[in-house]
Amino acid sequence: MDFQHTDERQMLGDTLTRFVAQDYPLNVRLAAGASELGYDAAKWAAFAELGVIGALFSEDAGGFGGAGFDISVVFEAIGRGLVVEPFLPVLLAGAVLTAGTADQQARLEAMIAGEILGTVAHFEADDGCDPTYVATTAARDGDGWVLNGHKAVVRAANAAAFLIVSARSSGKSGDRDGISLFLVPAGTAGMNLRDYQTIDGGRAAEVALTDVRLAADAIIGAEGQAVEPLEQALGRGLLALCAEAVGLMDVMKDMTIEYIRTRKQFGVPIGKFQALQHRMAEMLLEVEQARSAVINAAFHEGTPGPDRERAMSAAKVTIGRVGTLVAEETIQIHGGMGMTWEYPLGHYAKRLVMIGHELGDEDYHLMRYIALGKGVAA
């Protein structure tokens, strides 16, 4: 395994890191996350102009990257800057659209250009993050479809030009067959959004679907065969979240090292105390283990199958455990200062903890990892 990034990826990572450091201070991030839109439209356009969105997708899809390490480079830089713009929803929606028709894929090109947003509405309130649990129904209506159901915590739904909705056209919840994906334009009759600000910045929505009527060409891919493209998209999302978490942890680690070098007690920096040195050493080792898990996941991203899914779940388990440790240790070492609104650490910790729950928490992915090892998908 080659641990060195290509020159192009290194240049992309350096450019994005420099842009975020210079033009994305904490106050801009907080204002964008708390806004009615949930992100800064001007910053999103700037990211698109830099080619950051295009780096998430292959040349065939209109981008210029799309490999696992391209995703990890971008999202690690996003984590370092605590970026609130909707990269994850676009990554998931774009991954699904690659299985669509030419007209559907044209929306992906518009997303890469930063002109529109799309998001995936898949998870439901009672699903426990199982991709095969879909209670939302899709019934035939002549040549078209009628959708009924409810989707939970749909990121950036308020700003999306379209939603990609999973619905069951046959079978029962838990069956791998029978799930289909539908492209639903914003404002479609019968689709109602209740959006809200999330605890870590940005916006999400509860989506209610009541007799939503769609044309026959709204379906993406083959009818009843959406689990595989969904798993591929969610796998890319898991890799992105884990890489973002590593970027967050790097910044939190550096902030804590700087703090213990300058904060003094009894006339000496607290970094001289052996107990704190031991805690920092343990934390640094755990962060490097998390980085290794992300590298392994990025390496396996392009190889569909159980090995890929196990690598993604293993990375998510590691990130969940290490992320909790880093959030707790860095705040405890800082003391009350670490939780003040004006100091960045608390905001980084909040996002890091939330990543541990997004797209399945540590417990879910540990069970999934074990089940995949036995040849039974969780």
DSSP-derived secondary structure letter, 199: T
Closest CA to 159 of 39, 54, 75: 39
Do 228-373 and 119-224 have the same topology in CATH?
A: no
Single pTM value for the model:
0.94
Please list, in sequence order, all residues whose beta carbon lies within 8 angstroms of the beta carbon of residue 149, skipping any fewer than 6 positions away. 124, 135, 136, 137, 167, 209
CATH of domain 119-224: 2.40.110.10
CATH class label, 7-116: mainly alpha
Structure tokens at 191: 């689709």
Please list, in sequence order, all residues whose beta carbon lies within 8 angstroms of the beta carbon of residue 319, skipping any fewer than 6 positions away. 241, 242, 245, 246, 290, 293, 294, 355, 356
All structural domains of the chain with their residue ranges = 7-116, 119-224, 228-373
CATH class label, 228-373: mainly alpha
pLDDT in tens, the chain (378 residues): 556 677 778 888 888 989 988 888 888 899 999 999 999 999 999 999 999 999 999 988 888 888 999 999 999 999 999 999 999 999 999 999 988 888 998 999 999 999 999 999 999 987 767 888 999 999 998 899 999 999 999 999 999 999 999 999 888 887 889 999 999 999 999 999 999 999 988 999 999 999 999 999 999 999 989 999 999 999 999 999 999 999 999 999 999 999 888 887 888 887 778 888 899 999 999 999 999 999 999 999 988 788 999 999 999 999 999 999 999 999 999 998 888 988 999 999 999 999 999 999 999 999 999 998 887 555
Closest CA to 242 of 116, 352, 159, 121: 352
- Helix spans in 204-305 (H): 227-262, 274-300
206: left (phi over 0), alpha (psi -120 to 50) or beta: beta
